[in-house]
Structure 1
Amino acid sequence: MGAQYRIYYFSKMLPRDLKPEQFNSYPPEARKLIISNLKTLQQLPLSFLPGLLHEIIDYDYKFPIERQEISKEIAKLGSLSLVQMNEWFRSFQEVSLSTQLEHSNWINQPSQFVEQLSAYLWSTRQVDAFRKAAKEYGERIRAAVSLEQLPTPRLGIAIIGQGGNGYDGPLFRMLREHGTYFSHINPENGVQQLLHAVELRAQSYPTPYGHWYIEGGQAVEHNTMLTCVSYRALAPVRAALLRNLQAEIQRPGMGPEELRTNLATLQPADIGLDKSGDAVLNHFQLKILTEGSGTQIFSTTFVQWTVREVLRRAQPLTLLARFGPRQRQRPMNELLSNAGNDSEVDLIGSLIDAEMGAYYNWLNQQRLQGLVQSSFIAWLESGSQAVAIGPSFARGTSSNSRINLEELISWATR
């Protein structure tokens, strides 16, 4: 029987029947938010509400801007009249649901409901109608919820080529058309200069999770005002997760759907993340390792996925990502059994991965508020090549000027 039907039966529950005590298993801030807005949630259709609960259930472990967005969204829904509520959700109301979905434990397991709903919509050919409804809703919310003005334009930095001795081939070809290519950068103390610039921004515009340093190898010394995620520092955590995965895979009857469900139930402490540490950051790192494909074993993939999620979720003012050398491609069972052993690295392959990763970093930054004013710099570590994109740099141009990275940062942020 298909995965979409593997649902345990509970008493049929519709949003209008919700009661405060049904959310006792939710974390405290999430429960408080729901109970104070229960009347609003009771008016939402079942085809929509579990998707919202999927976001709310992790409210306690979300970044500040995510909390603001959820709170503003619910407040907006609470301000709608009955007529407006019907207009906003008419298309969702028209989506038919199976008896299995109506009797599932969607209150406590909203993410599983969302997965099962997706499969059901495909099987009943309702997916296009649902997507249309979701798109219209998203447009209404974005138009209704105002964004706070940024205190300073965003700055993204990507450092590639760590561990190499420079590279003479052409780099940043996909980025050059959007900015200025520099061929005579002075690489001396380049990492320190870029990191210092990020630290200065963190001091000038202090905000929780507003300034990030993502490291694909061993993190260098940095100011604690930066939120840091390091591939090397997470080596014991990655190894514990892979042991967990191997044990689960060997269990009889374990398939992809069951494995994904088990991963979704893991808590940071289950894989060795410090209980006394930053709970929000610990949950974020857990999701990076359990939801990203290859983040457990390839440092370049780890950096690229982490940057994507930081930009999407935390929406920082500043982000420095330093790609590290990844291990060579080997058979999957060998990669899994030797997790954390990066002694045999592929420097050229890592450089190719990182160059494309830098491009994706810029693309993801462009999806955020203030994209016209934002700046982005990509640099070949220990090399003379860099590209800078932003209001201060002409598109599709090249410069042979001798310049150091501190000057380039000053130019980008003036």
Structure 2
Amino acid sequence: MTPDQLVASSFDGYPAAARRFAVEHLSLLQRLPLVVCPSFLQQIQNLDTSFPAEKESLRWQCDSLQKLAPERYSALASPLAALSIPPSLQSLDWVHSPASFIPELTAYLWSSGQINQFRLAASALFASVPSREDTTHRLVFVMLGQGAQVESGKVLRKLSKQGVFFSSLKTDTAFQDIRRAIESHASKASAPYANWYVDGSVISDEIANKLPNTTAVSYTGLSKLRERVLERMQVALPSSSGGAEQIHTRLIGTSWRDVGASEITSDPVLQRFYTELFTESSGPQIFSTSFVQWAGRELIRRAQPQTLLLRYTPRQSHREMSEMFASVTPSSFDPQGSFRDAEMGAYYNWIEMNRIAAPGKLTFMAWVENKPFAVIVGAGTPAGTICATPMSITEALQNFG
């Protein structure tokens, strides 16, 4: 089957909202090349459990492509349509199972040497979609370094190049200052899923107490999901000669129902999101630092939060992979290694948030927990500078945020 053969009844098995959306954009879907159409269908299939930002983004993208002049669209789509797709792939049920089809397609594009051509052509197609106007101011806090030994000249070096490094921050009111800043910012953002707190251990009452309109999630709080995903990964290990690829294939077919996400939350959007934090990643199943970094990445990409707090905590020490898969209880923790992981994770979190934030509309602060070291990156911060003046986090944000 090819996209031009799609009709309204092709989507009869879709959820109601997804079916309406697909039929509304049927003329676009019929014109999309086979190498990109399933990606659209996968997003459409998941509309019922998507964040509002994802729904808005998909609609904007589809509406924009649908409005392109025929000549312009044809010029952009032709390189994608020219890619060779074997009949064996075309015969797969990519309409109802796009999530299974996409890895097969990707593998074929790699093996046939067409992946670079695909990437260039797909980038050109999506570059034709105009940016949406965005005046949202976003606030991000990253806490890291709990229990680690750190030195002033060897901490947050990558982020320091982007903003102001504080070497004498007052720590006695730090938790309260962060909570107040989040509370103030979140109170102005009442939209669902606009404000988030992610913790690598357990939710801190000192931080989370009375935070308005904020979704809080922790590594410990999702332990049931994580353990059930690990069990599914373990089943694939002994019998698999394909290694990570076989494990990934097994996890692709894992839904929130399979791991009992309804025991964690009654919200279907969160059920899917929490499940996919473990089924569409490598690392969060075992390491809390990977969980925080990945959760931040996915929230930024999918929910596009206005307020975000990411708290990295010590992860378990490295052991044999089979041992870490088999044991859900860490035998020891590695604060020092966790700090280095978190430093890099925080830097990536800044890069990712900077991509979606409008120019001059992002305040990003990373603080080494219970230490006087922090970095603020914002519209008015002079890059690569050091502030040695003692001040609280509240004062630092007022002066440089």
Q: So what's the TM-score if we normalise by structure 2?
A: 0.92
Name the aligned partner's letter for residue 332 of structure 1.
M
**What SS does the corresponding residue of 2:356 show, helix, strand or coil?**
coil
Give the corresponding residue for 1:216.
Answer: 200
Give the corresponding residue for 1:25.
Answer: 13
- Map residues 184-199 of structure 1 onto 2, 5 A cutoff: 184-199=168-183
Aligned-residue CA RMSD (Å): 2.0
Going from structure 1 to structure 2, the CA distance change for 1:36 and 1:156 (only over 3 Å counts) comes to same
Please state how far the C-alpha of 1:330 moved relative to its aligned partner: 0.5
Taking the aligned partners of 2:240 and 2:371, their CA distance within structure 1 comes to 52
Please state how far the C-alpha of 1:166 moved relative to its aligned partner: 6.0
Give the corresponding residue for 1:325.
Answer: 314
Q: Provide the aligned length of Structure 1 versus Structure 2.
A: 395
Contact 2:162-2:383 at 8 Å conserved across structures = yes
Going from structure 1 to structure 2, the CA distance change for 1:90 and 1:343 (only over 3 Å counts) comes to same
**What SS does the corresponding residue of 2:93 show, helix, strand or coil?**
coil
Give the corresponding residue for 2:377.
Answer: 389
Please state how far the C-alpha of 1:368 moved relative to its aligned partner: 1.5
**What SS does the corresponding residue of 2:261 show, helix, strand or coil?**
coil
Give the corresponding residue for 1:8.
Answer: none
Give the corresponding residue for 2:84.
Answer: 96
Contact 1:392-1:411 at 8 Å conserved across structures = no
Going from structure 1 to structure 2, the CA distance change for 1:402 and 1:257 (only over 3 Å counts) comes to closer
**What SS does the corresponding residue of 1:309 show, helix, strand or coil?**
helix
Going from structure 1 to structure 2, the CA distance change for 1:298 and 1:27 (only over 3 Å counts) comes to same
Contact 2:12-2:19 at 8 Å conserved across structures = yes
Deviations 1:168-196 (CA, angstroms, capped at 9, x unpaired): 45311111122111111111132232123
**What SS does the corresponding residue of 2:21 show, helix, strand or coil?**
helix
- Map residues 96-135 of structure 1 onto 2, 5 A cutoff: 96-135=84-123
Please state how far the C-alpha of 1:412 moved relative to its aligned partner: 4.2
1:315 aligns with 2:298: no
- When structure 1 is superposed on structure 2, of 86-95 and 15-24 the one drifting more is 15-24
Deviations 1:258-292 (CA, angstroms, capped at 9, x unpaired): 43232112121321212652211221111111112
Contact 2:297-2:349 at 8 Å conserved across structures = yes
Name the aligned partner's letter for residue 390 of structure 1.
G
| 166, 169, 173: which one aligns with 1:182 | 166
Name the aligned partner's letter for residue 288 of structure 1.
L
Taking the aligned partners of 2:341 and 2:252, their CA distance within structure 1 comes to 28
Taking the aligned partners of 1:348 and 1:45, their CA distance within structure 2 comes to 49
Contact 1:165-1:382 at 8 Å conserved across structures = no
Give the corresponding residue for 2:134.
Answer: 149
| 328, 331, 342: which one aligns with 1:354 | 342
Unaligned runs of 5+ in 2: none
Please state how far the C-alpha of 1:392 moved relative to its aligned partner: 2.9
- Map residues 252-331 of structure 1 onto 2, 5 A cutoff: 256-274=244-262, 277-331=266-320
Going from structure 1 to structure 2, the CA distance change for 1:337 and 1:226 (only over 3 Å counts) comes to same
Runs of 4+ aligned residues of structure 1 deviating over 6 Å after TM superposition are none
Contact 1:179-1:394 at 8 Å conserved across structures = yes
Taking the aligned partners of 2:326 and 2:81, their CA distance within structure 1 comes to 49
Contact 2:225-2:261 at 8 Å conserved across structures = yes
Taking the aligned partners of 1:232 and 1:104, their CA distance within structure 2 comes to 39
Please state how far the C-alpha of 1:97 moved relative to its aligned partner: 1.2
- Map residues 168-179 of structure 1 onto 2, 5 A cutoff: 168-169=151-152, 170-179=154-163
Please state how far the C-alpha of 1:231 moved relative to its aligned partner: 0.6
| 28, 33, 36: which one aligns with 1:40 | 28
Name the aligned partner's letter for residue 300 of structure 2.
L
Deviations 1:303-356 (CA, angstroms, capped at 9, x unpaired): 1111111112222122111101101001111111222x2351111111121122
Give the corresponding residue for 1:138.
Answer: 126
Taking the aligned partners of 1:310 and 1:82, their CA distance within structure 2 comes to 35
Deviations 1:213-270 (CA, angstroms, capped at 9, x unpaired): 1111111132251122211111122111111221233447775444323211212132
Give the corresponding residue for 1:167.
Answer: 150
Give the corresponding residue for 1:7.
Answer: none
1:231 aligns with 2:215: no
**What SS does the corresponding residue of 1:269 show, helix, strand or coil?**
coil
**What SS does the corresponding residue of 2:258 show, helix, strand or coil?**
helix
Give the corresponding residue for 1:6.
Answer: none
Taking the aligned partners of 1:220 and 1:317, their CA distance within structure 2 comes to 20
Please state how far the C-alpha of 1:128 moved relative to its aligned partner: 2.4
Taking the aligned partners of 1:326 and 1:336, their CA distance within structure 2 comes to 14
Name the aligned partner's letter for residue 303 of structure 1.
V
Name the aligned partner's letter for residue 183 of structure 2.
E
Contact 1:160-1:323 at 8 Å conserved across structures = yes
Going from structure 1 to structure 2, the CA distance change for 1:166 and 1:188 (only over 3 Å counts) comes to farther
Going from structure 1 to structure 2, the CA distance change for 1:81 and 1:397 (only over 3 Å counts) comes to closer
**What SS does the corresponding residue of 1:158 show, helix, strand or coil?**
strand
Q: So what's the TM-score if we normalise by structure 1?
A: 0.89
Taking the aligned partners of 1:247 and 1:399, their CA distance within structure 2 comes to 53
Taking the aligned partners of 2:161 and 2:63, their CA distance within structure 1 comes to 43
Going from structure 1 to structure 2, the CA distance change for 1:327 and 1:109 (only over 3 Å counts) comes to same
Identity score, percent:
34
Give the corresponding residue for 1:77.
Answer: 65
1:63 aligns with 2:72: no
Taking the aligned partners of 1:85 and 1:168, their CA distance within structure 2 comes to 55
Please state how far the C-alpha of 1:81 moved relative to its aligned partner: 4.5
